[in-house]
Structure 1
Amino acid sequence: MPSLSQLRPSIRSAAGRNRRADRAAARAEAQRPARLRVPLSAYVVDCAVYDDGERLPGRWTHDEAIAEVRERGTGFVWIGLHEPDAEQISGVAQTYGLHELAVEDAVHAHNRPKLERYDETLFMVLKTVRHVGNADPTTANEIVETGEVMAFLGRDFVVTVRHGRHTGLREVRRRLEDDPEQLRLGPAAVLHAIADHVVDSYIDVVRQIETDLDAVEAEVFSPGSTMNPEQIYVMKREILDLRRCVMPLVGPMRKLSEGYSALVPHDVRSYFRDVDDHLGGVAEQVAGFNELLTTLVDAVLAKISMRQNNDMRKITAYAGLISVPTMIAGVYGMNFDYMPELHWSFGYPMVLLIIATICTLLHRNLRRNGWL
């Protein structure tokens, strides 16, 4: 059996080989492409701490911001996210205690406007809209583009999640930061500002759609118009999309104005009542647009029916004119031996004259009666 002194050289060589193998494996691991993982900061549009109506200086992560607020005992956090995935929003959800069902809705979007209460958090979904400008509304394929804004409202935080390219809240944040009195009302003031911004966009879109509908209405009722009813169906589809954004929001906005949750203080409810009033006006206009488009569809179909009737009358009139020479030629084409004026030298021109006279009189009567 070899002694320890004899085994030491082989042990040292084996250890050296193991260390070289470990270094080679480390180098290979470093050269291997790492799995791409997008950090949370890529989805964070802005994260700010507000205290006494003022924004605190500095850059904050979502956990540092809420820790600062709870250490102070005053103020709140507003963090804005843009289209995060489930993995990226999970850290915010754990830190702020967001309910998993609401988080799932915020990630996948495509929700109806709604207001839900989870323990000490409110979750609100608002549909945003943008008018797609077209040079000629009578040939447009898209009029309204939609997006979503979701808001988690807590005692000392607001988390907003946006979906869509036109739903930016940067201007809303700037206006609030320029109005410290409003920010002192707390996180509910942020929710009101977002709702007010969304409803104001509804008003702008409704005003632009009203202009488009005026152009379509003028085209439909103009003399000689041949507008395709499919274009009105396109507009009706877009109005229904707008209706699905506006109508379901009426109930949640009414709840916020009537004291649905203690997270919305009494001072903020009056602001929500103003938004609710504007939203009601928009809902009435959208319902009116839907009825107007139904009327325009009926008018276009009636005009098409009238054109078809006129075409059928013209076809019938010309068929009557053609039937006169056809009938006379058919009679003389029977080739009987004893037919009137068959062997008369003036028989052929006489028949032509009779055909021309009858057709002329018939054409005059048809034109007098509006068939031609």
Structure 2
Amino acid sequence: MLVNAALYRDGHRIQTVETLAAIRDGCTEPDTFAWIGLFEPDEAEFNEVRDIFGLHELAVRDALARHHRPTLERYDDTWLLVVKTATYVDPQEVVDIGEIRVFFGETFVVAVRYGEASPMAAARAELESRPDLLRLGAGAAIYTLLDTVIENYIPVLDGLDNDIDEVEAQVFSDDRDFPTQRIYQLNREVLGFQRGVSPLRGPIDDIVSGKIDWIPTEVAKRLVDLRGNLARIIEQIEEDAKLLHTVLEANLTQVNIQQNDDMRKISAWVAMAAIPAAIGGIYGMNFTYIPFANHDYGFVVVLGIMALSMLYLWSRFKRSGWV
């Protein structure tokens, strides 16, 4: 589905188009580039894009396949950049991962979005508000898109950090409801987020190193700063993964301690219950002579022995912290 399409020249949006076919003639003008946004297009729409911009057949086939990792690939004069987007859904404590596949050349940018977590509209608005950057051409669009995607990683990281702090506090609280399942879920989300973010270093390094010769020097310099921001985010994600592993180990230790404590208490009560059970069992036997069996106060004496024995054991267990 076509979401947005426009032609840009000399730092300004000169034309908004409603169909892909209308883009064809505009791209041939000097210092002009087209930026097209698509949402989960079908094969027919992709074929139309291929025909307009002369995309390589293999690039189109690869783009129709789902679940790419972040990468930068070249197909003749066309480049394919794959970027993972992310949004943190706090009520469910999950990271919603989307994907943007960007076909681009010196005169066009075709951004194809999969999933709901997409910053493309914000990236376009940001670039259109900065004519000095927009006049740098298609390379500026690529930079702005990457910048917006990476900026959107920060709220995701903040949400994960907040939930990790919560489970860490819960593990060491007096609450017996250990958050083992929550820790596993957070760990899964952090690892999924890490798989989507970490490989993005490679494509940015390739652009900064001059792999695409028509990218302006000013754009490459901005990408150097962007690479630093991404490195800090990746480092924080790695720290979160390590912290969650530590929290999980601490949680399992706390569970074992609690189970041992429960077993001590159960053993203590079983030991105290064994005394009256043993004495009662003996006096229930049909022996001819049992001490106090025929005594006037025998029953009271036996009950007293039971009670005193249990009280003695209870006091010892209490001092030892078993009850």
| TM-score normalised by the chain length of structure 1 | 0.82
Equivalent residue, structure 1, for 2:311: 360
Distance 1:331 1:203 in 2: 73
Equivalent residue, structure 1, for 2:78: 121
Distance 2:123 2:198 in 1: 23
Q: 1:277 aligns with which of 228, 235, 245?
A: 228
Equivalent residue, structure 1, for 2:15: 57
Equivalent residue, structure 2, for 1:202: 153
More strand by share: 2
| 8 A Cα contact 1:49 1:76, kept in partner | yes
Distance 1:210 1:238 in 2: 12
CA shift, 1:176, in A, is 1.2
Distance 1:225 1:354 in 2: 37
Letter matched to residue 105 of structure 1: D
Distance 2:95 2:130 in 1: 32
CA shift, 1:308, in A, is 0.9
| 8 A Cα contact 1:69 1:77, kept in partner | yes
Cα displacement string for residues 87-140 of structure 1 (whole angstroms, at most 9, x for unaligned residues): 111011122111223223333432111111111111000010111132xxxxx3
Q: 1:149 aligns with which of 93, 100, 118?
A: 100
Letter matched to residue 311 of structure 1: D
Equivalent residue, structure 1, for 2:4: 46
| 8 A Cα contact 2:36 2:109, kept in partner | yes
Equivalent residue, structure 2, for 1:74: 31
CA shift, 1:172, in A, is 1.5
Equivalent residue, structure 1, for 2:56: 99
Equivalent residue, structure 2, for 1:223: 174
Following superposition, which runs of at least 4 residues in structure 1 exceed 6 angstroms of deviation? none
Distance 2:64 2:279 in 1: 81
Distance 2:83 2:237 in 1: 17
| 8 A Cα contact 2:83 2:100, kept in partner | yes
Count of residues in correspondence between the two structures: 323
CA shift, 1:224, in A, is 2.8
Distance 2:214 2:113 in 1: 22
| 8 A Cα contact 1:69 1:75, kept in partner | yes
Cα displacement string for residues 156-198 of structure 1 (whole angstroms, at most 9, x for unaligned residues): 1111111122314222112212212111211111011000000
Equivalent residue, structure 2, for 1:369: 320
Equivalent residue, structure 1, for 2:130: 179
Equivalent residue, structure 2, for 1:348: 299
Distance 2:171 2:292 in 1: 58
Cα displacement string for residues 277-300 of structure 1 (whole angstroms, at most 9, x for unaligned residues): 111111111111111111121122
Cα displacement string for residues 325-355 of structure 1 (whole angstroms, at most 9, x for unaligned residues): 1222222333222333433323222211111
When Rg is computed on C-alpha atoms for both structures, the one with the higher figure is 1
1:238 aligns with 2:189: yes
Letter matched to residue 85 of structure 2: T
Distance 1:363 1:60 in 2: 84
| 8 A Cα contact 1:83 1:107, kept in partner | no
Equivalent residue, structure 1, for 2:162: 211
Identity of matched residues, %: 38
Distance 2:171 2:104 in 1: 48
Equivalent residue, structure 2, for 1:30: none
Equivalent residue, structure 1, for 2:114: 163
Cα displacement string for residues 12-36 of structure 1 (whole angstroms, at most 9, x for unaligned residues): xxxxxxxxxxxxxxxxxxxxxxxxx
CA shift, 1:149, in A, is 0.8
Letter matched to residue 53 of structure 1: G
Q: Secondary structure at the residue paired with 1:57?
A: strand
Distance 1:217 1:151 in 2: 40
Structure 2 portions without partners, runs of 5+: none
| 8 A Cα contact 2:171 2:250, kept in partner | yes
Distance 2:18 2:269 in 1: 84
1:318 aligns with 2:269: yes
Higher mean displacement: 314-323 or 227-236: 227-236
| 8 A Cα contact 2:119 2:149, kept in partner | no
**CA-atom RMSD, angstroms?**
1.8
Q: Secondary structure at the residue paired with 1:55?
A: strand
| TM-score normalised by the chain length of structure 2 | 0.94
| 8 A Cα contact 1:66 1:77, kept in partner | no
Q: Secondary structure at the residue paired with 1:56?
A: strand
Letter matched to residue 349 of structure 1: V
Letter matched to residue 310 of structure 1: D
Q: Secondary structure at the residue paired with 1:131?
A: strand
Q: Secondary structure at the residue paired with 1:224?
A: coil
Higher mean displacement: 288-297 or 190-199: 288-297
Letter matched to residue 167 of structure 1: S
Structure 1 portions without partners, runs of 5+: 1-42, 135-139
1:266 aligns with 2:266: no
Letter matched to residue 266 of structure 1: T
CA shift, 1:207, in A, is 1.6
